[in-house]
Amino acid sequence: MCGIVGYVGPQQALPILMNGLKRLEYRGYDSAGIALLSNSGLMVAKTAGKINVLEQKLSGTEIKSTQGIAHTRWATHGEPSQLNAHPHTDAEGEIALVHNGIIENFRTLREFLIQNGFTIRTETDTEILVHLIRFYYNGHLTEAVRIALNQVEGTYGIAVISAKHPNLIVAARMGSPLVIGHGEKEKLVASDVSALLEHTNRVVYLEDGEIATITPDYYDITTIQNVKISHRIHEVNMTLEEIEKGGFDHFMLKEIYEQPTTLRNAIRGRLNQEEGISRLNGLNLQYDELRNIKRIVITACGTSWHAGLIGEYMIEELARIPVEVEYASELRYRSPIFDEDTILFAISQSGETADTLAAMREAKKHGVTVLGLVNVVGSTIARETDGGVYIHAGPEIGVASTKAFTSQVMVLTLLTVLLGRMRQISVPAGQEFLEGIQKIPDKVERILKNCDQIKKIASAYYKKNNFLYLGRGINFPVALEGALKLKEISYIHAEGYPAAEMKHGPIALIDENMPVVVIALKDAVYDKVMSNISEIKARNGKIIAIANEGDTEIAERVNHVIYIPKTSRLLSPLLSIIPLQLLAYYIAVMRGCHVDQPRNLAKSVTVE
Ligand code: G6P
C-alpha cells in the first residue's frame, strides 16, 4: 500500500524523509520517490524497486533542503516503474505531489486537461491531479488544491509542495489516511504515524474532505468547501511495531479486520446499479465477446483455488456457462482441451505463483484468451494476461491469505453478474444481486465484532489434533478454505469436505475428540445439513455451527453457534468465511504458533 511522508522545518529533510519511508516499508510497495525543495528549486528523484535503490541514486548528491515530500508506491494504475513512481510534477517542474488512493474519474479529467493543452506523461491517475492543481493555480496553493479536489471523484491522501511557496506543504484527505506531526518548530505529514513517531508523538488526524496548510510553525485545516476546522492534538502512546500492525498483534489479524475496507475497494466504481450490471473494463472484452464465451477454465493454487471454486458455483448458476476449476500444477502437465471459445482465468494474490504462471502460458500457446484476477499490480501474471481485474486488496503480509481471498470472491461476484446479464438475468435480478453485494462490507463488520465468542470457542478446542470442516453447495469451498486456514497456521490436521460426503469416509473419524465445524445456513440444503449434524451428534462429535441470525432451532442441536447476518446464498461465502478465519487465528495464537510466518510456507511460491 502506498506511503506518504512530508517534512518542513529547520532540519535537513532528506534523511528524515528516507527514514520515514523505511518506516512505511512494511506496507509493501514497488517503487519510491522524493521531491526536495531548495533555493535552486525542486529536485525530484524516483526509482522502481526498493528504497535502497533510491538511496543509492541519491548518494553523493549534495542538497541542502529543509522541506520535501516522499512516497512509496504500490501500483494501481500503470506498472511499477520510475516514470509512474511519485512524486509527480507539473510540466514546469514547480509543483510536486504524492498521492495515495484512486482517482476514479481520472479518464474524464485527463480528457479535460488534454483539451486544455496539457501533455500527460504517465499512465497514472495521480499525474492528472498535479496538472489539475496547476490549471487552477492563481498564486495560492491551498486554493488551487481545493478547486482541483472539488473536481475529483475517488479516494486520496495527498501532499503537495511548490517552488513558489517555500516552507509550505498542502495536504488533503478523502478515504486515505493522513496525519500531521507536531515537532519543535517543525511539522511532518504522513500516511501513517509510524513514519513520524521518531520525531514526535503529538499528532492531528485529518478527516475525510479536509485540507491542511502546513508550515514549520503552524497548521490550518479547512474543508474542501472552505469551512474552518479545529482539531485536537493527540498524544500517541504506542511502540513503532505496534503501530505498523495498526495496534493488532499480528498482520493476519489486521488483514482480517481490514476486510470491510478491502471489500469496499474491490467494488468501488465497478457497480452500475441502474442497469444491474458491473463494469470490469480491464477485461478488455466487448459485450458480444463476453456473450460468446462457451466455457471458462479457472486455474489457481491454494486459497486462490478455493476462490475459483466459489466462482464456479456462481458463474454456472447465474450465467449458465460451464466452468472448470483446476489446480495450476495439474493443468500445466496434462493435455487439457482448449478451444477458441474457452477463456482461462488465472487467480493469484501475488501474481507470481510459478504453477499458475506456467498453466497460463500453456493455455496461451493454445490460443486461449487468458485473463487474470490479481492483487499485486504489475506482477508477472498481471503483465502476461490479455486482460483482467485487480482486486485492490492492498499488500497482504500474513502468509495465510485472508483479505485477498474475500476480495477475489468479491470480484468473482462482479464477473458473475456481468456474464449473467449478458446471457440470462434481467435488470431487476442484476440490481438485486448488486444490492446484496453492496451490503456485504457492513455485514462483515458486524461479524468481526463477535470476536470474543469466537475466541472462547477457540480456547475450548485449541489442544485438539484434528478438525473436520463441512459445507454444502457454495459453502463447500468455504469448508475447504476454513480447514486450510487452520492447518496453515496452527499445524492442526484439518480436512474440508462436502457435508454429504462425510458418510463415505470421514464419519469413521468422529468421536468425542473430533471438533466438526459445520456451515449450516438457511438455504435449500439446510435440512440436509441438519441431518449431517444429527449424524455427528449421534457419534459424540463436537459441533461448531456457522448459522444465520435468527436460527434459534440450531442452537439446541449443536455445541456452539456462531451467527452471521443473512445474505443471498451465492454471496454467503463472503460472510461464512470470516468466523473461520478468526477461529483459525485464535487457535494458532493459543498454541503459540508463528501466525504471520507459519513454518515451511511462503507468501509467494515462485518455484515449482
Ligand atoms: C502460497 C500462499 C497461499 C496462496 C498460494 C497461492 O501457498 O501461502 O496463501 O494461496 O501460494 O498464491 P497466489 O499468490 O497465487 O494467490
Quick one: which atom of ligand 1 is closest to the CA of 302? Answer: 10
pLDDT, tens only, 592-607: 999 998 888 887 777 6
Can you give the pLDDT at residue 177?
81
pLDDT, tens only, 206-263: 988 999 999 999 999 999 999 999 888 888 877 766 667 888 999 999 999 999 999 9
Which residue among 251, 326, 350 has the greatest number of ligand 1 atoms within 8 angstroms of its CB, and so is best to mutate? 350
Give the pairing of strands 228-229 and 219-223.
antiparallel
Can you give the pLDDT at residue 171?
98
Nearest-5° Cα angle at 231, 230 to 234: 160
pLDDT, tens only, 553-574: 999 999 999 999 999 999 999 9
- Ligand 1 centre and the CA of 301: distance in Å? 6
Quote the pTM value. Answer: 0.79
Can you give the pLDDT at residue 21?
93
- For atom 5 of ligand 1, the residue with the nearest CA is 302
- Provide mean pLDDT across the span 375-400: 88
Range 218-235 burial, b when 16+ CB lie within 10 A, else e: ebebbebeeeeeeeeeee
pLDDT, tens only, 424-443: 999 999 999 999 999 999 99
- Ligand 1 centre and the CA of 68: distance in Å? 38
Task: Answer yes or no: are the C-beta atoms of 532 and 558 closer than 8 Å.
Answer: no
Cα–Cα distance list, 301 to 327, 350, 392 (Å):
6, 11, 19
Can you give the pLDDT at residue 241?
67
Q: What are phi and psi of 131, to 5 degrees?
A: -70, -35
The ligand 1 site (C-beta within 6 Å) comprises 301-304, 348-350, 353, 356, 399-401, 601, 603-605
As a whole number, the mean pLDDT across the chain is 93
Quick one: which atom of ligand 1 is closest to the CA of 381? Answer: 15
- Ligand 1 centre and the CA of 511: distance in Å? 33
Can you give the pLDDT at residue 8?
98
pLDDT, tens only, 75-102: 777 778 888 899 999 999 999 999 998 8
Can you give the pLDDT at residue 175?
78
- Ligand 1 centre and the CA of 347: distance in Å? 10
- Ligand 1 centre and the CA of 603: distance in Å? 6
- Ligand 1 centre and the CA of 359: distance in Å? 15
pLDDT, tens only, 510-556: 999 999 999 999 998 999 999 999 999 999 999 999 999 999 999 99
Can you give the pLDDT at residue 608?
62
Task: Answer yes or no: are the C-beta atoms of 134 and 148 closer than 8 Å.
Answer: no
Can you give the pLDDT at residue 597?
84
Element (H, E) at 438: helix 427-448
Which residue among 301, 310, 345, 385 has the greatest number of ligand 1 atoms within 8 angstroms of its CB, and so is best to mutate? 301
Quick one: which atom of ligand 1 is closest to the CA of 353? Answer: 15
Among 33-47, 125-139, 364-378, 455-469, which stretch is predicted with the lowest mean pLDDT? Answer: 364-378
Cα–Cα distance list, 220 to 156, 211, 223 (Å):
19, 8, 10
Catalytic positions, written as ranges:
2, 603
Can you give the pLDDT at residue 242?
67
pLDDT band at 586 (very low <50, low <70, confident <90, very high): very high
- For atom 15 of ligand 1, the residue with the nearest CA is 348
- Provide mean pLDDT across the span 27-39: 89
Which residue among 401, 406, 480, 487 has the greatest number of ligand 1 atoms within 8 angstroms of its CB, and so is best to mutate? 401
Quick one: which atom of ligand 1 is closest to the CA of 601? Answer: 8
- Provide mean pLDDT across the span 444-456: 96
Element (H, E) at 436: helix 427-448
- For atom 7 of ligand 1, the residue with the nearest CA is 302
